[in-house]
Amino acid sequence: MLAHFAPSSTIVIALLIVCLIMVLAFEASNGFHDSSNAVATVIYTNSLKPVPAVVWSGVMNLAGVLIGGISVAFALVRILPPDVLTPPDGSPAVPMLVSIFASALLWNVLTWFFAIPNSSSHCVIGSLIGVAASDALRKSRDLAQGVDWHQIISVLKALAISPLLGFVIAGGLYWILRKIVRRGHLLEPPRDGKAPVWWLRALLITTCTTVSVSHGTNDGQKSIGLIMLTIIGLLPATYALNPQATGAMKRLSEYGAQAIPLISQYGDDVKAQGLKAAQALQRGQPDLQREANALDSHQQNQNQNQGDERATRAQLRGYVYDVASEMKYVSEQKGVPEPQRKQASSLLKEMSGPVEYAPWWVRVLSAVCLGVGTMVGYRRVVRTLGERLGREHMTPGQGASSELVGSVLIGTAGLTGLPVSTTHIITSGIAGTMAASGQGVQGGVLVRIGLTWLVTLPVTILLAGGLFYVLS
């Protein structure tokens, strides 16, 4: 459908602009859900008024985004096959972008409307899996090889284990707290809109801060890779290649030559495409030098018109993704000798520099959207966590325990490049503290939340996969 339009046509550019709006809206809806967990305790206990709490959380999210890097962002992007990320003809990946953003945004907003703490991470991952599976079916590829299940399983493991850890560890911490502090402000629900004593306010603001920073290091990254894909589609001559990775750019020819024997002997069912890309990189040393010099000087090459340069850089990006995909496959195969696996892993790391990056202003844009979304939609989630999850209202000690444990789990995952769900960890942590207190949880609310978590992946997989199939 969209393949019939020229890459620079008005309708493609218009759709890319719509995609950019949708991904920013999705990041704001991430704020509805995930960032609201960070401010739920301080707002519900009256430790901070809503506006200062949201502004402070937004600033700390920004700090987390800047500290955390982009490993989580591109851990998700790698779920997609290379020809979906960068089509062979150099055209923008509009069908993929529209499918992912529309599906994830729809489900995120729908669950927020019903005040269910849903995971934005699951929305994105389900949409990515749907596009990857749909692409494999379109090309009559075996789903076992057409979809990067190794990457998906590693992502889903982190998502599945982290809520269980949050429930057990936060519950255990609150149980210990109750044994040490048998009565007092920590164990009493907030009343009459009064702020807690100063030391308790300081504790709750501190845990809000740590969750916000760790949220930025993980959830704040998840849309950065998708924002970059959209911007590259709009401005490929400027953003298709990383201007800070000129050294790696100049060595791509060498990397291509080293990759050829590995792909020939150990590649997957589309290794012919990877070989073609590796050979193109091997032969393209003069072009690679020219592109690297142009990026290094931040000037357009005077011997090419703008259209040629757009195509050249988009094609180079596509070649890198094709070869990197094969190197990833080789590095994960147990039947491949260890030296070759290590070589493939090293090549994958070295080749990622020119294509996996994000300018500082993209990180700032992501953090701003998170903050705006939190400010607009925090009330529903705050009330669910504070009043509707347990049989009694949440106490400051429960909020502090769940947030302290959550910040450690989320921050650790972010720094190691594993995407986790802030919503799942904080919600599970609060449920764990309520179970540890003996007051129990409200079964109906917990069932609704659990069912939403379970159906999010299949729903977004079907939505994104079906939409991608039609648009492609």
Sequence ranges of the domains in the chain: 2-229+360-370+416-471, 243-352
Pair 108, 101: CB distance under 8 Å? no
Helices (H), 114-148: 120-138, 143-146
Local confidence band at 383 (pLDDT 50, 70, 90 cut-offs): low
Residue 390 pairs in a beta bridge with: 441
Lowest mean pLDDT among 80-84, 143-147, 302-306: 302-306
pLDDT of residue 302: 42
Local confidence band at 295 (pLDDT 50, 70, 90 cut-offs): low
Local confidence band at 310 (pLDDT 50, 70, 90 cut-offs): very low
pLDDT higher than threshold 90 for residue 323: yes
pLDDT higher than threshold 70 for residue 174: yes
pLDDT of residue 384: 62
pLDDT higher than threshold 70 for residue 311: no
pLDDT of residue 307: 40
pLDDT of residue 327: 93
Residue with tokens 């992502």: 155
The mean pLDDT of 409-423, rounded to a whole number, is: 75
Residue 382's alpha-carbon distances to 34, 252, 366, in angstroms, are 11, 50, 22
91: amino acid identity, one letter: S
Residue 188, CA atoms < 13 Å, CB-side half-sphere:
11
The mean pLDDT of 313-340, rounded to a whole number, is: 89
The percent of residues above 70 in pLDDT, for the chain, comes to 80
- Please name which of 415, 352, 334, 366 lies closest in space to residue 158, comparing C-alpha atoms: 415
SS3 409: helix
pLDDT of residue 300: 46
pLDDT in tens, 328-360: 999 988 889 999 999 999 999 999 888 888 888
385 or 394, greater pLDDT:
394
Long-range contacts of 283-287 (CB under 8 A, 24+ apart): 283/253, 284/252, 284/253, 284/256, 284/316, 285/253, 287/312, 287/316
Q: Looking at mean pLDDT, say which of 41-45, 86-90, 173-177 comes out highest.
A: 173-177
The mean pLDDT of 12-24, rounded to a whole number, is: 84
The mean pLDDT of 243-249, rounded to a whole number, is: 82
pLDDT higher than threshold 90 for residue 136: no
The mean pLDDT of 423-435, rounded to a whole number, is: 81
pLDDT higher than threshold 50 for residue 439: yes
SS3 content of the chain, % helix, strand, coil (to 5): 80, 0, 20
369 or 350, greater pLDDT:
350
The mean pLDDT of 120-145, rounded to a whole number, is: 85
Pair 406, 183: CB distance under 8 Å? no
- Please name which of 370, 326, 317, 366 lies closest in space to residue 347, comparing C-alpha atoms: 326
Tell me the pLDDT of the chain averaged across its residues: 79
The mean pLDDT of 25-39, rounded to a whole number, is: 73
Q: Looking at mean pLDDT, say which of 31-45, 51-65, 353-367 comes out highest.
A: 353-367
Local confidence band at 108 (pLDDT 50, 70, 90 cut-offs): confident
pLDDT higher than threshold 90 for residue 261: yes
